[in-house]
Structure 1
């Protein structure tokens, strides 16, 4: 009926290229180890999954939209927002806090959260643009942004707390990119 852009041919090569770049970067710095390569792989798989589930589906030949420009935009904070959606967004962004803490261990907590906020905002803007131009099926929601940042903060907190224990610190240090 409508020509849908296939997800896998887009996200798999993109994730593969990013993985090669990250592993090459570790290699050039002389810090390539199996645990750090595993972090790079996890980051790429995670990012591919987020792109696949937040931007797609995209249709190339759907009829022009007749809806208002703000139909795919929700800016009412905590209004008409389900607890299940909040929990899902928190869960989806916990890995962002963990991965940023491992990949950029010298960053302050505020910087990690600023980058997580930028990532979430990029997702929301992408969803809005896709809905307006490519017949995407998602709504950009300020509540998603809020709970994404909460999830990233919890991920960062988990790594920070784990590093307070001797065994946890040794484990985290094996995976950190410092």
Structure 2
């Protein structure tokens, strides 16, 4: 059986661009496109592409038929903290610190539980993508409850650092220009 590696860049770069464009569209619908906010959209697109590149790839397809149909175990680990190295834990925490710091810029009324929910959802999407690519192709990663938990911890740390840094009035004033505005509501009052 012969396999070929799916090229990463033709998937990751358009993915990041789509995230950026969707972010700009969301900003535009809120009536708040500014250079600082657009820079947050760009950072989000680059971050999303980088996370995709490092969490789902490499992916290998079988030459001729594409998907791999041979025997293999389910690529899912559900036992917390079993055979989980400190290096893996630290990497997974570090990868999600930026997302925890981006959440309060992206949502109108950030709270710690909203940040946890967004980070947990993003991490779950990654773990499901890893499980799918490992099942359908020969993906290079496995879905692991430990990765999910440490990603959430990283997001919480990132959110906490953001809150801590913005306690300074000077930093808070600077950061305010990067925050995305709440969605504008159409007035129901007659003009």
Q: Same fold (TM over 0.5)?
A: yes
Structure 1 position 112 matched with structure 2 position 115:
yes
Quote the residue 1:8 is aligned against: 9
Quote the residue 1:168 is aligned against: 171
Contact 1:36 1:177 in 2 (8 A): yes
Per-residue deviation at 1:125?
Answer: 1.2
* Larger Rg computed on CA atoms: 2
Quote the residue 1:43 is aligned against: 44
Quote the residue 1:68 is aligned against: 73
Per-residue deviation at 1:145?
Answer: 0.6
TM-score (normalizing by structure 2) = 0.86
Q: Which runs of 4+ in 1 moved over 4 A?
A: none
Alignment partners' CA distance in 2, 1:115 and 1:100:
8
Per-residue deviation at 1:22?
Answer: 1.6
Unaligned 5+ residue runs, structure 2? 182-191
Per-residue deviation at 1:28?
Answer: 4.0
What is the RMSD of the two structures over their aligned residues, measured on CA atoms?
1.5
Q: Deviations over 1:18-61 (max 9, x none)?
A: 21222233234331121111110010000001111111112221
Alignment partners' CA distance in 2, 1:57 and 1:129:
13
Alignment partners' CA distance in 1, 2:122 and 2:108:
18
| Structure with the bigger percentage of strand | 2
Alignment partners' CA distance in 2, 1:21 and 1:92:
22
Unaligned 5+ residue runs, structure 1? none
Contact 1:124 1:145 in 2 (8 A): yes
TM-score (normalizing by structure 1) = 0.92
Quote the residue 2:55 is aligned against: 54
Q: Deviations over 1:36-93 (max 9, x none)?
A: 1111001000000111111111222165332222xx2222211111111111111000
What number of residue pairs does the alignment pair up?
Answer: 176
| Structure with the bigger percentage of helix | 1
